[in-house]
Amino acid sequence: MAKPLITVAIPTRNRSAYLEVALRSLRRQRTAVPFEVVVVDDGSTDQTARVAEELGARVVRLERQAGLNAARNRAVAEAAGEVVAFLDDDVRVPPGWITALAKGIAAYPQSDAFGGPIRPCIEGTGGRGCGREKPPITTLDLGPEDREAEAVWGANMAIRRSAFNRCGPFDERIGDHGDEEEWLERLRAAGGTITYLAGAWVEHRRAPADATLRALCAAAYRRGRAARASDRRRQIAPSVARELATLGGCLGHALRYRCPQGLVMAAHSLGRLRTALRK
């Protein structure tokens, strides 16, 4: 069996229903490019391992919850591929994703890391807004053409093994925000290059149960807290007054446009503010 050119690595914990959709989409790849799929199970207590094995993935289990970056580092250690392509467990890839990724890797031999578009796929009704705001989920759209980028996101990010050898592992001390960003900053500081591949897109999903207004607000609040903590670590956090002004703007948007999405934005801002007020 040929050594895989690409290892697709999916860190996950207790989200077997999402994982099943992601793995089924990988099984539908129409490609001649060799690849393997490694699922790093970060201490799940649900059916994650069974689902992954039944759908052909190699499962690596962490016996205790260690966090996203620890799972990524384990994936790199276990990977057989020359490139490690990270996906979040809540994405769905089109049948040509591997091919588009491989073509980009070949076309830009000077690049160390790659990422592609991340398109929102909200399957419930809670994400509806007035059209003036961003989707309530991580997305990326740098345009219809390939280009050099300052950053891409871990939901759809591939890195050459040589870059890990040069820059070291992901920082396992970092929590749920800025986790991949810190590593990419190190890469750029070392002279590395990141390339955005316009054709290597994925869908970032929210299933109906997670796409109610209540669920989206709760998730946004948690992301806001993590985002403020990340900004504080990077010494770029805005003042409390600025955070208050942003919260007021989000609530004003919700009222002015009768926009439920404004409440999701306000929840994110409230999470940031609460973290800012903590000593």
Digit-coded pLDDT (tens) for 225-255: 988 988 888 889 999 999 999 999 999 999 9
194 in the same domain as 222: no
pLDDT at position 279 over 70: no
pLDDT at position 116 over 60: yes
Average pLDDT over residues 141-152: 97
**Looking at the domain assignment, is residue 88 inside a domain?**
yes
The string of DSSP codes covering 71-113 is: HHHHHHHH--SSEEEEE-TTEE--TTHHHHHHHHHHH-TT-SE
What is the domain range of residue 180?
6-206
Q: How far is CA 135 from CA 105, 119, 130, 194, 202, in A?
A: 29, 9, 11, 24, 15
Q: How confident is the model at residue 127 (pLDDT cuts 50, 70, 90)?
A: low
**Looking at the domain assignment, is residue 239 inside a domain?**
yes
Stated pTM of the model: 0.90
128 in the same domain as 263: no
Based on C-alpha coordinates, what's the Rg of the chain? 19
219 in the same domain as 108: no
Digit-coded pLDDT (tens) for 42-60: 999 999 999 999 999 999 9
56 in the same domain as 126: yes
Average pLDDT over residues 139-143: 97
233 in the same domain as 175: no
Q: What is the pLDDT of residue 234?
A: 81
Q: What is the pLDDT of residue 134?
A: 85
Q: What is the pLDDT of residue 139?
A: 95
118 in the same domain as 44: yes
248 in the same domain as 199: no
**Looking at the domain assignment, is residue 18 inside a domain?**
yes
Q: What is the CATH number of the domain that holds 189?
A: 3.90.550.10
Q: Could you give the CA distance from residue 105 to residue 11 in angstroms, rounded to a whole number?
A: 22
For the ranges 14-28, 139-153, 161-175, 225-239, which has the lowest average pLDDT?
Answer: 225-239
**Looking at the domain assignment, is residue 1 inside a domain?**
no
The fraction of the chain above a pLDDT of 90, given in percent, is 84
**Looking at the domain assignment, is residue 24 inside a domain?**
yes
**Number of structural domains the chain divides into:** 2
**Looking at the domain assignment, is residue 94 inside a domain?**
yes
**Looking at the domain assignment, is residue 231 inside a domain?**
yes
Digit-coded pLDDT (tens) for 30-46: 999 999 999 999 999 99
Among the candidates 206, 236, 261, a domain finishes at: 206
269 in the same domain as 166: no
Among the candidates 175, 206, 237, a domain finishes at: 206
CB atoms within 10 A of CB 145: 9
Q: How confident is the model at residue 271 (pLDDT cuts 50, 70, 90)?
A: very high
Average pLDDT across the chain, whole number: 93
237 in the same domain as 118: no
Q: What is the pLDDT of residue 63?
A: 84
148 in the same domain as 32: yes
248 in the same domain as 191: no
Among the candidates 206, 238, 257, a domain finishes at: 206
30 in the same domain as 78: yes
